[in-house]
A and B are shown apart, each in its own frame.
Chain A
Amino acid sequence: MSFEPKILGIACNWCTYTGADLAGTTRLQYPQNLRVVRVMCSSRINPSFIFRAFQLGADGVLVGGCHPGDCHYNTGNLYARRRLAVTKKILEFSGLESGRFRVEWISASEGNKFAEVVTEFTEQIKKLGPQIKFKISQ
């Protein structure tokens, strides 16, 4: 049986989640490995969510937000951009493959981009294989 990764998607309500909706209503095909959690803004994401997801067995984490400058709350994703950049560095410094965490800006009208990003990211995680470094062993 081929490896089917578990990917946590954290999507902003106003852009990426609506974009995912659009991808659905336009019947675009993308892999089913993504489990999406909706948050009100990408700056709502506590970095511990990401560490915790890896500990609980996620093979990859994809964060989606509005394009910088288009945030529903004006500045939320500008804070998130700095914060998530640090999260990425910390994961990298601790020795996790840096390809397992990805941040993408996807607007509500970019259903195509959403499908593309998910397809590409799933392929990438499949290549990296199961994530065992952070996972809590039972």
Chain B
Amino acid sequence: MVISFKQIEEKLKTEAKRLLGESQVSIVLAYGKGYDENHPMPYVARNPSDVDNIVFNEYCNYNLARYLVRYPAGTKIAVAVKAADSRAVIQLIQEEKVKREDLVLLGIPVYGMKNPKTHEIIDGKTTGGLYNPVLYDILLGDEVHGQAIQSPYDVLAAYESMDKEARFAFWKKEFDKCIRCYACRKACPMCYCDPCFIDQTKPKWGDKSPQSHGNLMYHLTRFHHLAGRCIDCGECSRACPVDIPLYLFHKKVAKACEEMFGQAAGMSIEDKPALVNFRVDDSDKFLE
């Protein structure tokens, strides 16, 4: 079965028009035209007449859950979500940043999304092994079945085979490339702190200029802040202008959290984020 992106686009337009027309929502977050086919942009439709600008193709991999926290509480928002994006929405609901009743989730079951830079298919890296949204109100199209589900952690194999010296050398090389543009922070649906710890001056946690020690501090702390919350959308690594494979570290931490606390991020509204929760019988072994 081939997913038709054109069909999804049509359905997205119809639903957006209906929701805006019936005043069920005040804005629709979807994708719009960019400067060319390969670079669609996030698009906010506010009137039924805006809807015609919505597009959907295989390069629409931005995580629109990023924009939910920008609107004042109580704004009725319809948002187009793919598999990983719906996990981001669930995680934001868990963290009480958005309310379920304010949202209309337009689920997009999809596979075959492509990276606009490399044109490779990114499903294994970014969908967390999922093709269908975890949570949705309206599903645009039929659920995807029968695709080989990759484990989200398969891509870690090469990294896991490194010993600690090789790992340190690997990350030092990668972090030294960092130009501190903070695109990873801007693209991440879970990075909503204001101010970010790295922007604080009292205390000053790390240097803000792109030097290796400041970069290390920024990235390690960011990995820590996203532990148990990262929903594996891979936006940080795609947003990165110098191609640091941040998703590897995030996945590694997510895997460790899943093993230790038995809970993957953003899978159920009922859960609490792993690090603001505890069990009395958590094992001390993890600290050894």
Chain A interface residues toward B at CB < 8 A: 47-48, 51-52, 55, 68-69, 75, 78-79, 81-90, 92-98, 102-103, 105, 133-134, 136
Q: Which residues of A contact B252 (CB under 8 A)?
A: 89, 93
Is B256 part of the contact surface with A, judged by Cβ < 8 Å?
A: yes
When C-beta atoms are compared, the residue in chain A nearest to B286 turns out to be: A85
Binary interface profile of B, 132-143, with partner A (CB < 8 Å = 1, else 0)? 000000000000
CA distance A102 to B287 in the complex (A): 7
User: Shortest beta-carbon distance, B146 to chain A, in Å?
Assistant: 35
- B residues 184-212 touching A (CB-CB < 8 Å): 197, 205-206
Q: Which residues of B contact A92 (CB under 8 A)?
A: 164
- A75-B224 in contact given A51-B217, A81-B287, A96-B164 (Cβ < 8 Å): no
Binary interface profile of B, 202-228, with partner A (CB < 8 Å = 1, else 0)? 000110000001001100110110011
Is B282 part of the contact surface with A, judged by Cβ < 8 Å?
A: yes
When C-beta atoms are compared, the residue in chain A nearest to B255 turns out to be: A89
CA distance A137 to B44 in the complex (A): 47
**Cβ–Cβ contact B227 & A90, under 8 A:** yes
**Cβ–Cβ contact B278 & A95, under 8 A:** no
Q: Which of A81, A86, A102, A134 contacts B228 (CB 8 A)?
A: A86
User: Shortest beta-carbon distance, A93 to chain B, in Å?
Assistant: 5
Is B280 part of the contact surface with A, judged by Cβ < 8 Å?
A: yes
User: Shortest beta-carbon distance, A58 to chain B, in Å?
Assistant: 14
Chain B interface size range: 35 or more
- A48-B253 in contact given A86-B275, A90-B224, A95-B169 (Cβ < 8 Å): no
Binary interface profile of B, 273-288, with partner A (CB < 8 Å = 1, else 0)? 0111111101010110
Is B43 part of the contact surface with A, judged by Cβ < 8 Å?
A: no
When C-beta atoms are compared, the residue in chain A nearest to B249 turns out to be: A93
Q: Which residues of B contact A96 (CB under 8 A)?
A: 164, 168
CA distance A79 to B206 in the complex (A): 25
Q: Which of B165, B166, B256, B278 contacts A86 (CB 8 A)?
A: B256
Q: Which of B164, B217, B257, B277 contacts A97 (CB 8 A)?
A: B164
Is B260 part of the contact surface with A, judged by Cβ < 8 Å?
A: yes
CA distance A44 to B205 in the complex (A): 16
Most buried by B among A55, A79, A82, A133: A82
When C-beta atoms are compared, the residue in chain A nearest to B281 turns out to be: A68
Is B171 part of the contact surface with A, judged by Cβ < 8 Å?
A: yes
Q: Which of A78, A88, A97 contacts B278 (CB 8 A)?
A: A78
Q: Which residues of B contact A51 (CB under 8 A)?
A: 216-217, 220-221
When C-beta atoms are compared, the residue in chain B nearest to A105 turns out to be: B284
Chain B interface residues toward A at CB < 8 A: 164-172, 197, 205-206, 213, 216-217, 220-221, 223-224, 227-228, 249, 252-253, 256-257, 260-261, 274-280, 282, 284, 286-287
Extra contacts, 11 of them, besides A78-B282, A89-B252 (Cβ < 8 A), are A51-B217, A81-B286, A82-B282, A83-B275, A84-B287, A86-B228, A86-B260, A89-B260, A90-B220, A90-B223, A93-B249
Q: Which residues of A contact B286 (CB under 8 A)?
A: 81, 85, 88-89
CA distance A48 to B216 in the complex (A): 11
CA distance A97 to B249 in the complex (A): 17
Most buried by A among B168, B171, B223, B287: B287
Q: Which residues of B contact A52 (CB under 8 A)?
A: 205-206, 217
User: Shortest beta-carbon distance, B273 to chain A, in Å?
Assistant: 10
CA distance A130 to B236 in the complex (A): 34
When C-beta atoms are compared, the residue in chain B nearest to A88 turns out to be: B287
